[in-house]
Structure 1
Amino acid sequence: MKNALVIIILSTLLFSCKNENNQQTKTPEENIEIEEGTTEVSNKPAAIKDTIEVYQLRPGEIISSPLKIEGRARGTWYFEASFAIRLLDENGNELAVVPAEAQDSWMTEDWVPFEATLEFENPDFKEGVLVFEKANPSGLDEHDRDLRVKVAFVPSP
């Protein structure tokens, strides 16, 4: 029994060291770090430091449907290889929700790229919020985390 436990521990350590040496080095340049649960406007891509980064979407950006979203998040942000992205209007009404899908193995603490395409009807509102929700299969409030990015909508004709 002790031998099996030692083998499991050594295997885990070896796997961890291997992952540290093979970490993805590509990072979006000049990300803006947005505190959880807040919105900001900037010309830099949105991110929560060392947790989630959205490559092309900048706070305050004008969006339209379909909206392709790409970025990367730590494996701990996913459950079953996905997490939710919600689009809310300025009153907090949900306009659309889509799963962000991991593009690589998500059972890690390393960075894992994601992609999603959000389709929605253009609302009558000027502004909204994209919410990137950390998967929380436990349902416990202390495990809730999100990145909120303020967006603008294409004006209706």
Structure 2
Amino acid sequence: MNKNKVLQIVLFVLLFLIVGLGAYYLYSKGVICKSPTRTDEEITEEGLYKTDEGVSFELISPLPDSEIDCKFTLAGKMPREWFFENSFSYSIIVDGKEVLAGSVQSKDDYTEKEILEFAEEIECKEGCIGEGEIVLKNANPSGLPENDDQYRIPVKFTSKCSVEEVVEETPKVAVVKLFFGNSEKDPDFEKCEVTYEVKRTINEVVAVGKASINELLKGPSTIEKSKGFYTSIPSGTELKSINIKDGVAYVDFNEKLIEGVGGNCLTSRIRSQITNTLKQFPTVKKVVIQVNGKSEGVLEP
């Protein structure tokens, strides 16, 4: 190999080394920039939005002008300046009215990261119908209006959201007979021991005899009165107890039952009302009327 050839090779190697060392020096000094690599804390270009105050953030869902259901996920990435103790607030506005409000939580540590991820499951149970807005509001512990910031997401709800209806079970009812006097059927009030039945619907209960007497003490209804029905039982009479044993119903009232009551016809009619009302039940063959636990002399002619 001649000297010229060797010299060319040496010069080429030296040039290569010089260029390589120069490039390394510039790279280490930052003159030649490293290729950018995305970290978890960076906001991507796709889905980039700006708040009213120009804060850039990434919105993942729901996107503006999208259709959403009553249940949806509010998710994205927001600079930590928007958070206070890892949360900021939101509200849902429909027809100018706030129908739901709450807060968005981030599981990231705001003391370590510049950008915090958030994902909140939201369910709008009432008022979310048609077009509305989801308003994101920054945390503003100072309370000063100049520190407020927000971003409004226009959306359309695909279905009406309402509170689940509580279906109440219709109570079972029973039809009982009550007995009253009747001025149309006995205009001269001569049939002292005769009373006439009306039918009353009550809630079905175990103690149907007690329920029937309590209905009797209410007296005839307005419609029943228009048909001539009336009661002879004094106002203020209250049922204290009723016990049925061996076919005998022992029914105890307060003293109002006999207060101011006199005359054979009146006492007979009161007794007839109570006795006939209880004897409609197969288990009752006889009725003993008491006042404060005593039956002697009660409603006797």
1:118-129 mapped onto 2 (5 Å cutoff): 118-121=122-125, 123=127, 125-129=129-133
Check 1:49–1:141 CA distance in 2 against 1; reply closer, same or farther (3 A cut): closer
Structure with greater helix share of residues: 2
Check 1:147–1:109 CA distance in 2 against 1; reply closer, same or farther (3 A cut): farther
**How far apart, CA to CA, are the structure 2 residues paired with 1:95 and 1:89?**
7
| Partner of residue 147 from structure 1, selected from 144, 151, 154 | 151
**How far apart, CA to CA, are the structure 1 residues paired with 2:51 and 2:119?**
22
Amino acid at match of 1:30: E
**How far apart, CA to CA, are the structure 2 residues paired with 1:25 and 1:108?**
10
Which residue of structure 1 lines up, in the alignment, with residue 170 of structure 2?
none
Deviation at 1:33, TM superposition (A): 3.0
1:18-37 mapped onto 2 (5 Å cutoff): 23-24=39-40, 27-28=43-44, 30-31=46-47, 33-36=49-52
Q: Which has the higher contact order (CA 8 A, sep 6+)?
A: 1
**How far apart, CA to CA, are the structure 1 residues paired with 2:128 and 2:135?**
19
Q: Which has the larger radius of gyration?
A: 2
| Partner of residue 54 from structure 1, selected from 59, 64, 68 | 59
Q: Retained in 2: the 8 A contact 1:84–1:99?
A: yes
User: Could you report, residue by residue, the CA deviation over 1:55-86 in whole angstroms, capped at 9, with x for unpaired residues?
Assistant: 13211111122211111111110001100111
Check 1:114–1:133 CA distance in 2 against 1; reply closer, same or farther (3 A cut): same
Amino acid at match of 1:129: E
TM superposition score normalised by structure 1: 0.67
User: Could you report, residue by residue, the CA deviation over 1:124-148 in whole angstroms, capped at 9, with x for unpaired residues?
Assistant: 7421000110000100011100010
| Aligned residue pair count | 125
Amino acid at match of 1:117: E
Which residue of structure 2 lines up, in the alignment, with residue 9 of structure 1?
none
Extract unaligned runs of 5+ from structure 2.
1-36, 162-301
